[in-house]
Amino acid sequence: MDRASETRRDRLSPTPVDRLAALARPSRARTTMARRVAASALTAVAVALLVRGHPAGNRVQVVATARDLSPGTVLRPDDLRLTPLSADAVPAGALRRIDEATGHTLAGPARAGEPVTDVRILGPRLVAAAAGVPDARVVPIRLADPEVADLLREGDRVDVLTADGDESPDARVLAASATVVLLSPKDSGRNPRERVVMLALPADAATTVAAASLSSALAVTFH
């Protein structure tokens, strides 16, 4: 048998080594299929990223407290910091710039890292939200019994009362459902009788209470 015949016979009857070598050599069909599979996988990844959104591109910088703060704190720049939040976790009314909060009075206690919103500081939004009316005002009063101030907390609802004078000892309700928005600190160094209670009231009621506080002893009843 000549050499050409042997070569044809080898091609018709490949050895195991020949079969493995043939599998190792990339064929056009296998290469095309692999490319299609890779393209499909990349497309699926791109769609998933598009639906989920880029983690860093979906965050918003908001103002937050840099440390624990007590109510009545006049906010300074070092009391605050900017912190990133996921866009869907940003509370309504969140402040976006530190200068929007600087110089304002904190209306309640705040933990470090807590976002600062427009109703956490003394201002029109807080007063309107506390009193439930857009024309609300804040009126400061001193109580006839200063120890009652120790029992008050921000957010409490109280009625404000006064006596008309020695000849009329019956108490008179000056304003109903006032909201306590701030108490002067007990350890401020002042005489305890000078502690101030800040109340949110509709404008007319606030005027009445402010006028009465100039000449009458005031008291509150709790809801």
**What CATH number should be reported for the domain holding residue 95?**
3.90.1210.10
Instruction: Give the whole-angstrom CA distance, residue 83 versus residue 64.
Output: 6
pLDDT digits (tens, 9 = 90+) for 164-203: 655 555 678 999 999 999 888 776 555 656 788 999 999 9
Question: Do 73 and 150 share a domain, yes or no?
Answer: no
Helix or strand (DSSP H, E) at 220: strand 218-222
What's the number of domains the chain is made of?
2
Per-residue pLDDT at 215: 85
Per-residue pLDDT at 13: 59
pLDDT digits (tens, 9 = 90+) for 140-168: 998 988 888 888 988 899 999 986 655 55
- The reply to whether 30 falls in a domain is no
The range of the structural domain enclosing residue 198 comes to 133-222
Predicted structure pTM score: 0.60
- Measured from the Cβ of residue 92, the count of other Cβ atoms closer than 10 Å reads 7
pLDDT digits (tens, 9 = 90+) for 66-115: 999 988 888 999 999 999 999 888 899 899 999 999 988 888 888 999 99
